[in-house]
Amino acid sequence: MDIFERCFNFNDADEVKSLGVYPYFRAISSGQDTEVIIEGKKMIMIGSNNYLGLTSHPKVKEAAIKAVEKFGSGCSGSRFLNGTLELHEELERRLARFIQKEAALVFSTGFQTNLGTISTLVNRKDYVIIDRSDHASIVDACRLSFGEVLKFKHNDMDDLARILSNCDDKGGKLITIDGVFSMEGEIAPLPDIVKLAQKYNARVMVDDAHSIGVLGDHGRGTAEHFGLEKEVDLVMGTFSKSFASLGGFIAGPERVINYIKHTSRALIFSASPPPAAVAACLAALDIIEAEPERRERLWDITRRMHKEYKSLGFNIGGTQTPIIPIFIGDDMKTFQVWKMLSDEGIFVNPIISPAVSPGFQLIRTSYTATHTDEQMDRVLEAFEKVGKKMGVI
């Protein structure tokens, strides 16, 4: 058999393209903001993770430019060897203080952060216990580890308790969860997870990719939201959302971070984050700490859109965050709704199986602190028009 045979036989994307409803890899001709330009057309962006609207902030852009002027365009090596700049170390110190952990370690991407942390900590005889709706990076990290992977039903604490009770004490136990689930917009029941972890002698790692900058009085994420910062062992975050850049980090006890730093293959054998990306993160962190009104505005928009979508009759599930899914329930119908919204000048993301379970196909929307009331009015008008036409409401 030719190893390329499955590639030559892959026709799914071509079939969707032939129907005129292919929604992926759309080239944007402008900055990532509340409005973008695609094929010369202005569209309202509600498909981005730019929660605080910092991708276009003058201070963030200026910091990136100055970093290139001083440090050049790249580091030309890994963090382990020649690729650590004083910028990386400054960002790690700042993040540790912000998250209120002893130490932090910066990776080149959020995906690598999960790969490098979980596969390094979980070894033979260990257990890694994850929610069935955890992000793909957590799932892939578990595959790379040598431990036994156990999955509990989404946000089902009885199932988590059952799994933990069946684990023996020959190895360690790491519970790894999304703080905010990226498709459903739900917040993990962290207080119950922490109680079970303490009962069964397990450690807790929270992927706060969609939580930092959004949840908590100071934007420190899920643990702060629940007042459990001391009880959560490891906090993972990404820079491609609220931090308006690229990369990721893990924060926790100094000895644990030091171990990951010196043994994680994903860190040691990857080129380090470029100066512009790191400087942009530092500037974004300054703004996150100094301008809580951005987060307050984001939540004003979130509460309004939750209310308005429900009033129109849309099924938004159990979302508790600025990630608001519009459940459609069918692959082709989801593509059709996406296309009609696109024609109305609204950028959204269609999510179909296997990314979600059959029957739970959805339009994923997400919001930015810099969206205007007028833009939200326009979004709601478009959704109402399309929803009625397609029989969704």
- Residues annotated as catalytic (active site), given as ranges: 182, 210, 241
| CB 268 within 8 Å of CB 226 | no
Smallest CA-to-CA distance from 292 within 388, 226, 219, 386 is with 219
Residue type, 160: L
Secondary structure (H, E, C), 219-273: CCCHHHHHCCCCCCCEEEEECCCCCCCCCEEEEECHHHHHHHHHHCHHHHCCECC
Burial 278-300 (b: 16+ CB within 10 A, else e): bbbbbbbbebbeebeebbebbee
Neighbours of 154 (CB within 10 A): 15
Beta bridge partners of 350: 363
Query: For residue 103, how far is the Cα from the chain centroid?
Result: 21
Query: Phi first, then psi: what are they for 53, rounded to 5°?
Result: 70, 30
- Structure tokens that stand for 323 in this block: 């990630």
Between CA 281 and CA 279 the distance in angstroms is 5
Only one residue has tokens 């910092």, namely: 54
- Structure tokens that stand for 223 in this block: 């643990």
- Structure tokens that stand for 304 in this block: 């309004």
